Structure 1
Amino acid sequence: MTVELQGSLFDTVETVGLGPLTAIGRTTLRRGAWIDVLPGWLTGADTLFERLDADVPWHAERRQMYDREVDVPRLLSFYGEGERLPHPVLDEARAALTAHYAAELGEPFRTAGLCYYRDGRDSVAWHGDTIGRGSTEDTMVAIVSVGAARPLLLRPRGGGETLRYALGHGDLIVMGGSCQRTWEHAIPKTARTVGPRISIQFRPRGVR
């Protein structure tokens, strides 16, 4: 599929690559959770967006919502263990994240889930990645964003201050510790005119 992207004025590099992870900054959250954020980790992000837009086998899903089935408001694609990722830089990113977090995570990032937010009507509701081991164990989910920036919101389960991070154009966020169990995150709908965004979520085995 093809959705028009307004390129970033700050990412004019056409060659897709990764910067060092040494500059990543950590914020410690409540109840054993933390997040690491590194703006612009991936260079040539607009070029990568165009490749993923064209090459990934995007599909729509429908889910049961109370007494009816509804469209999932974004397009999806999932790459399991051993599947070739749609661009070599994503293999490099997964390997770099595995090496950087080896001491804390103790296992590799293995899968990649991709979400395509076509415009402001696409979204994801408040949730934690608690299907599988994330419901009972500390883990990590690393997200690389390409395309237009959209706000990722985080809030403690049960209520509290909401944190807001505008992610796009090669930005990286890693949610770790108890974050999936004790916090929730969301990409809200917006009535503003916004461009398309693709997020790539790297996860360890058994975390969805």
Structure 2
Amino acid sequence: MFFQSSLLDCGDEIGPGPLGSSVKRTLLDHGAWIDVRPGWISGADALFDRLLDAVPWHAERRHMYDRVVDVPRLLCFYEEGRPLPDPALDEAKKALNAHYAAELGEPFRTAGLCLYRDGRDSVAWHGDTIGRGSTEDTMVAIVSIGTPRSLLLRPRGGGPTLRHELGHGDLIVMGGSCQRTWEHAIPKTARPVGPRISVQFRPRGVR
């Protein structure tokens, strides 16, 4: 895997920056919203290298219609109570909880990590509706580290598609009804792109 670092990410500190007024909220239809904070994690390129080595990445196979297929990305899930693989992720979760706990009503507790090795890796249209996300408003906070990739969002049942290029420490938070009334995806691309790590922080009972 070849990773092109960002020319703007050259600091020595590794960890989250401020949130507050630096977060831009966009209200969507059906009670959904997204917050975006570009470049939230400083030293994100160094963090990418650390996570690439420290995380026990594994491949999965899943049933898709009438056959079993390879999941087109590598995965690792840190359930509640399992130590995260880097102190910077502990700091990120703490900062997210400080900013969103009052609105969310509970803390973020788990972290799912995905490694997109190149443009052939992807995730299909979906919402995080395993568990409470299928019936309740909730939040999913995603930190993107590495080469930017397009994250697409669209209303369930059709409608205009929103596109955000996320990488090098960018943060997007999907809140309100977003998981059950909207879908999101990382599409495959034929362009030569480097690897990206996605870190998804979720509350208890949301997958």
TM range (shorter): over 0.9
- Please give the secondary structure, in 2, of the residue aligned with 1:48: helix
Following superposition, the deviation at residue 15 of structure 1 comes to 2.5
In the TM superposition, 1:32-181 aligns within 5 A as 32-181=31-180
Gaps of 5+ in 1: none
Q: RMSD in angstroms over aligned alpha carbons?
A: 0.6
**Contact 1:38–1:173 (8 Å) recurs in 2:** yes
- Please give the secondary structure, in 2, of the residue aligned with 1:184: strand
Gaps of 5+ in 2: none
Following superposition, the deviation at residue 14 of structure 1 comes to 3.5
**Equivalent residue, structure 1, for 2:2:** 4
How many residues are matched?
A: 206
Match of 2:11 among 5, 10, 13: 13
Cα offsets for 1:177-202 (capped at 9, x unmatched): 00000000000000000010000000
Cα offsets for 1:155-206 (capped at 9, x unmatched): 0000000000000000000000000000000000000000100000000000
- Please give the secondary structure, in 2, of the residue aligned with 1:12: coil
Following superposition, the deviation at residue 98 of structure 1 comes to 0.8
Structure 1 length-normalised TM:
0.98
**Equivalent residue, structure 2, for 1:29:** 28
Structure 2 length-normalised TM:
0.98
Quick one: distance in 1 between partners of 2:196 and 2:86? 17
Q: Which amino acid aligns with 1:76?
A: L
Following superposition, the deviation at residue 136 of structure 1 comes to 0.2
- Calculate percent identity across the aligned residue pairs: 77
Quick one: distance in 2 between partners of 1:49 and 1:127? 25
**Contact 2:16–2:95 (8 Å) recurs in 1:** no
